[in-house]
Amino acid sequence: MQMIALGGTIGVGLFMGATATIKWTGPSVLFAYIIAGGFLYLIMRALGEMLYVDPDTGSFAKFASEYLHPVFGFLTAWSNIFQFVVVGMSEMIAIGEYFRFWWPNLPDWIPGLVAITFLVLANLISVKMFGELEFWFALIKVVTIVLMIVAGIGLIFFGFGNHGQAIGLANLWQHGGWFPNGLTGFFFALSIVLGSYQGVELLGITAGEAENPRPTIVKAVQSTVGRILIFYVGAIFVIVTVYPWDQLAAVGSPFVETFSKIGITFAAGLINFVVVTAALSGANSGIYSASRMVYTLANAHQLPKVFTKLNRHGVPVFPVLAIGTGILLGVILNALLPVFFPAAGSVFVLVYSSSVLPGMVPWVVILLSEIKFRQQHANEMLDHPFKMPFAPYSNYLTLIFLGITLIFMVLNPETRISLLVGVIFILLIVGLYFFKNRKAN
């Protein structure tokens, strides 16, 4: 379970998103991942505090309904569906770009179409098929990133694979310094950085359903967030140290180019294979998770009854097909958007960053719910061994940090439209909730 959860969090937000974040902020992207990771840890501690007292809850959407308002529970469920679909679309776009490494003239939409067809069929066959695929995808990613970090350290400090010439740390400051684009570029990068961490809050839910939930919750929050930080910061450190940051903007994957630069072409091909599996992994878990949320909403009579139908393998057919169709839009956008809107910039950044605001909804809900939770569980908090540090001030500070990120998404021309998409989505879902409830009353 930890391997699947860990692998599911490490996806194109790191592998492909690193291109945009490094372009905007240079080597200081390292600080962006560390700072965002620190706030992510606080969010997970807030969730862990609540799950420790009430481990059977099973969903932070329920916390939202209990401690805030049912509209927040409804919004959280739909935000997760939207987030998984948009990230899945991004994975398909990324796969098209990755395949250029082997076939430069292959149209981007073909690998994406093949990939989404394969994943939908695999999810329709059985839950076991999903689990098997996700385990191996995750294992490939995690092992390769570890090897990449180890090899990178060898290159940087000892010159392994570079004729004994250590690359050193000079690339961190020789091309305009740590902050070549100033603090503005640094804050621009935070949207993609935060997006790459989104979904980690589901780890707490998995832990809450474990056989011994309380120790598992503590272990999940402490170890998994730490490991993700090590993988992200370690991998980005290798990239910006081995390869000058200002030469990465024009390449598809900095992970591949980092090894191509020093002549290890076999490693470059291997890393490209890994980032393809990373994209497949993210879309695979997105189809599974979002389809189950659609199924749950249908069982709660919030969607048509047809979405509750299961096939002979116990798989909700129509939710899987609906989510797969939504992700397929990424393939269509990748083919059509550059034709009709040539000035649209990076299609990947445009689509991926659309998930940032809806993806923040669970985090905001967790932080606000924890404040109300403490008020209603004052007795349990007296000897609680896993309290949220410095609450409620840490809650407010984290909310301010998320708000600052959104402000800079407005200021950044490449993410402005994406943020607007997220705002429109949230307004539509909130409006739908109140319309349905008014109609019901």
pLDDT, tens digit, 9 for 90 and up, residues 405-419: 999 999 998 889 889
275 and 15 Cβ atoms separated by less than 8 Å: yes
Q: Which residue reads 């090899």 in tokens? A: 151
CA distance 407 to 187: 9
CA distance 238 to 248: 13
Among 51-60, 248-257, 299-308, 361-370, the range with the most confident prediction by mean pLDDT is 361-370
Q: Which of 273, 55, 324 is nearest to 148 (CA)?
A: 273
Q: How many CB atoms lie within 10 A of CB 269?
A: 15
CA 280 to chain centre: 13
2-440 classified as CATH 1.20.58.760: no
Mean pLDDT over residues 157-164, rounded?
79
CA distance 37 to 290: 25
Q: Which of 10, 283, 245 is nearest to 141 (CA)?
A: 10
Q: How confident is the model at residue 262 (pLDDT cuts 50, 70, 90)?
A: low
pLDDT of residue 393: 96
pLDDT higher than 70, residue 222: yes
Q: What is the pTM of this model?
A: 0.86
3-state secondary structure 319-354: HHHHHHHHHHHHHHHHHHHHHHCCCCCCHHHHHHHH
pLDDT higher than 80, residue 379: yes
pLDDT of residue 7: 57
Percentage of residues in the chain with pLDDT exceeding 90? Answer: 27
pLDDT of residue 364: 95
pLDDT of residue 400: 97
pLDDT, tens digit, 9 for 90 and up, residues 49-77: 988 888 765 567 788 888 999 999 899 88
Is-cis flag, bond preceding 107, omega within 30? no
Amino acid letter for position 397 = L
Q: Which residue reads 């692998």 in tokens? A: 7
CA distance 387 to 397: 17
Entry field: residues in the chain = 441
194 and 405 Cβ atoms separated by less than 8 Å: yes
For residue 316, the cross-strand partners are: 310
Sequence spans of domains, the chain: 2-440
